[in-house]
């Protein structure tokens, strides 16, 4: 189940976001608003939820949260955007990567 998370996720939200993939959560993170959507089978599903919530596509980046390892991975198809100088699945800009990681950890870590 996909949830849009604006403040620290609850245990039940985290469990529901893990239902599709069990070991990790695909997330789309709005680095301007500091929110995320997580739990989709594809990153684009999460991105769509943020777009419906009024986020701008250029502010949304894809990542994975692996709760057992407390690790953020920065690879997603939605990250390929040549017009923003990101020509890879991986978020190449270290500033954007740091923002994504900070938001994911703030909203999902420690639950």
> Which helix (DSSP H) or strand (DSSP E) does residue 37 occupy?
strand 35-40
Tokens coding 20? 């599709």
Bridge partners of residue 25, in order along the sequence? 65
* Percent of residues, the chain, with pLDDT higher than 70: 100
pLDDT given for residue 111 in this prediction: 85
Q: Any idea where the domains of the chain sit in the sequence?
A: 3-108
pLDDT tens digits, 54-63: 999 999 999 9
pLDDT tens digits, 14-45: 999 999 999 999 999 999 999 999 999 999 99
Sign of torsion, CA 10 16 20 22?
Answer: positive
Question: Residue 34: is it exposed, middle or buried by C-beta count within 10 angstroms (0-12/13-18/19+)?
Answer: middle
């Amino acid at each position: 189940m996909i949830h849009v998370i604006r403040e620290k996720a609850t245990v039940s939200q985290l469990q529901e976001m893990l239902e599709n993939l069990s070991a990790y959560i695909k997330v789309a993170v709005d680095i301007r608003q500091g929110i995320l959507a997580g739990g989709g089978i594809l990153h684009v599903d999460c991105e769509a939820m943020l777009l419906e919530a009024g986020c701008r596509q250029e502010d949304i980046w894809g990542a994975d949260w692996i709760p057992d390892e407390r690790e953020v991975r920065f690879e997603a198809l939605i990250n390929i955007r040549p017009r923003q100088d990101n020509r890879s699945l991986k978020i190449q800009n270290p500033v954007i990567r740091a923002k994504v990681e900070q938001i994911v950890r703030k909203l999902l870590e420690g639950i």
